[in-house]
Amino acid sequence: MAENTEQQPGKTIHAGGEWLEAVSGATREIIDPADALPFAVVAEGDEKDTDIAVAAARAAFDGGQGAWPRTPVTERAALLRRVADLLVRDREELGLLESRDAGKTVEEGRVDIDCVADAFRYFADLVAGEAPGRVVDAGTPDVHSVVVHEPVGVCALITPWNYPLLQASWKIAPALAAGNTFVVKPSEITPLTTVALIDLLVEAGLPAGVANIVTGPGHSVGARLAEHPDVDLVSFTGGLISGTKVAQAAAMTVKKVALELGGKNPNVVFADACASEEGFDTAVDQALNAAFIHSGQVCSAGARLIVEETVRERFVAELARRAEKIRLGRGTEDGVECGPLVSEQQRAKTESYVAAALAEGAVLRSGGKRPEPTATRPATGYFYEPTVLDQCHREMTVVREEVFGPVLTVETFRTEDEAVALANDTEYGLAGAVWTADAGRARRVAGRLRHGTVWINDFHPYLPQAEWGGFGKSGVGRELGPAGLAEYREAKHVYQNLAPRPVRWFAG
Ligand code: NAD
């Protein structure tokens, strides 16, 4: 793997085919959240670096007949497949880098890289298999009318820290497949795998200027991308507050905007799902996974357990018992099941939500504190115990707002209508699940949930070929699937008159 950050510390801005330092010369240390120690240095770009990268992307897009937007789709697809192969080649190193950067376990990092490769392959296959346009009937044989889909132009891609390369690939793969050029801005705290991906795109043969990256903060690099007059589309994944700012800035130049924002995702468990020992074990196991994988720093985390009252006590007791056994530690250590939070700020935010919940009457069933340090869990790392809060209700802040930490709240219901009402009682609408042995009820409840993804008797799986995105304040637009490609395209109607003659609307 071309290790740009190690070979050339601070040269992590890529514009027009060159690796550059920040114009200001500023750098940032990247911190390993397991011990709070720096392990890499990147360029700290700002508005000036952003303008350089956008100019490079613009030039590459507007270039001549052989430029990327006009490259035959079969060649674009072949390049994306080469990128997927390079990701597979570098899976171990990239998985490790993702683990150190974002604090996840190495196995989670590896799975992320597999999913990134899948996204590249999916969009390659999707565009390669498409018809080049849709012929429409103009009502006369003298007209040939066709609707084609063209690339939007220069895309600004802004991504978060929890799934750094995965979120970037859900934007980069369709943007490239559709023929766009782009400037990506990864989260300032987890940029390393996205920097590495740019090297792989270059190695796969992508022409200079098509793929550009500016490492740096949201308030300068991100904000400049969102407002930049030469950017045609901004696709943002992150929190509600930043997403709102991006949408406002983009509105001033009437850019296309796609927003993938937060979630407060319900996991609804009916008693009939727990009737057998096997069913009960599966529902508890998946509730743990829904809430605590990657320490709950997942946009679709099942952070709200909504369980039928008759099974609540048994369910919560078992959940809390198993939550306490989750092995916390440095993600690179064998046997560790869950890493630290990504930053001190994220842990402090989690602690304040738990304190507020307890003050509002929640009952602590597990966690609620920092763990004791061990050999695999340095005292300086940002660890926090998986926390189960019982006796919660919809008025509590912890139930309404996204914590983005290892905190599971428990609410109860008596009827199907009540379960649906609770599950939909959120300003978000990203994802949710229903657990039941009754197939009719499963379909009924799934049909009524106002969430972009609904799982029945499962939690978390997604498919590259199925759209991902949210209702309500979880966002605008979709990633993945055909709609995830359509975000990066403009429809163009080409109407060709085969027998032109005067229309004589005007007498003169
Ligand atoms: P964040 O909003 O703080 O930052 C996201 C990105 O936006 C970063 O690159 C940041 O630098 C940039 N940014 C910040 N302010 C900006 C501004 N004013 N203009 C332009 N860019 C700006 O989010 P985060 O803390 O990195 O990530 C966590 C959030 O991401 C959570 O809310 C989570 O739910 C959400 N998320 C959503 C999805 C999804 O698919 N819907 C996936 C992953 C994460």
Q: How would residue 138 be classed by pLDDT, with cut points 50, 70 and 90?
A: very high
**Which pLDDT does position 5 carry in this prediction?**
42
What are the Cα distances from residue 49, in Å, to 27, 33, 52, 153, 160? 13, 27, 5, 19, 20
**Which pLDDT does position 50 carry in this prediction?**
98
pLDDT tens, residue by residue, 49-96: 999 999 999 999 999 888 999 999 999 999 999 999 999 999 999 999
Return the best residue to mutate from 187, 188, 353 for the ligand 1 pocket (most ligand atoms within 8 A of CB).
187
Q: For residue 219, give the amino acid letter.
A: H
Residue 166 has pLDDT above 50, yes or no: yes
> Does residue 222 have its Cβ closer than 6 Å to ligand 1?
yes
**Which pLDDT does position 66 carry in this prediction?**
83
Q: How would residue 1 be classed by pLDDT, with cut points 50, 70 and 90?
A: low
Decide if 260 is catalytic: yes
Average pLDDT of every residue of the chain: 96
Give the residue-averaged pLDDT of 440-445: 98
**Which pLDDT does position 7 carry in this prediction?**
43
**Which pLDDT does position 3 carry in this prediction?**
47
> Does residue 17 have its Cβ closer than 6 Å to ligand 1?
no
How does strand 266-269 pair with strand 407-413? Answer: unpaired
Tokens representing 2 are 């071309």
Return the best residue to mutate from 242, 427, 430 for the ligand 1 pocket (most ligand atoms within 8 A of CB).
242
- State the distance from the centre of ligand 1 to the C-alpha of 245, rounded, in angstroms: 11
For residues 201 and 68, the answer to whether their CB atoms sit within 8 Å is: no
pLDDT tens, residue by residue, 2-49: 444 444 678 999 999 999 999 999 999 999 999 999 999 999 999 999
Which residue's alpha carbon is at the smallest distance from atom 21 of ligand 1? 222
Put residue 328 in one of left, alpha, beta given phi > 0 → left and psi -120 to 50 → alpha: beta
What are the Cα distances from residue 67, in Å, to 9, 62, 64, 200, 212? 31, 8, 5, 19, 15
pTM score of the predicted model: 0.97
Give percent above pLDDT 90 in the chain: 96
> Does residue 219 have its Cβ closer than 6 Å to ligand 1?
yes
**Which pLDDT does position 267 carry in this prediction?**
98
For residues 388 and 406, the answer to whether their CB atoms sit within 8 Å is: no
Decide if 308 is catalytic: no
Give the residue-averaged pLDDT of 242-263: 97
Give the residue-averaged pLDDT of 273-279: 98
pLDDT tens, residue by residue, 112-131: 999 999 999 999 999 999 99
d(CA 232, CA 218): 19
- State the distance from the centre of ligand 1 to the C-alpha of 186, rounded, in angstroms: 9
> Does residue 49 have its Cβ closer than 6 Å to ligand 1?
no
Residue 183 has pLDDT above 80, yes or no: yes
**Which pLDDT does position 53 carry in this prediction?**
98
Which residue's alpha carbon is at the smallest distance from atom 16 of ligand 1? 218
- Among 334, 326, 338, residue whose Cα is nearest residue 293: 338
**Which pLDDT does position 8 carry in this prediction?**
64
Tokens representing 359 are 């003050």
21, 155, 274, 299: the active-site residue: 299
C-alpha count within 13 angstroms, C-beta hemisphere, residue 380? 7
- State the distance from the centre of ligand 1 to the C-alpha of 74, rounded, in angstroms: 33
pLDDT tens, residue by residue, 313-370: 999 999 999 999 999 999 999 999 999 999 999 999 999 999 999 999 999 999 999 9
Give the residue-averaged pLDDT of 483-501: 98
Give the residue-averaged pLDDT of 150-162: 98
Tokens representing 283 are 């529902």
pLDDT tens, residue by residue, 384-441: 999 999 999 999 999 999 999 999 999 999 999 999 999 999 999 999 999 999 999 9
21, 44, 98, 260: the active-site residue: 260
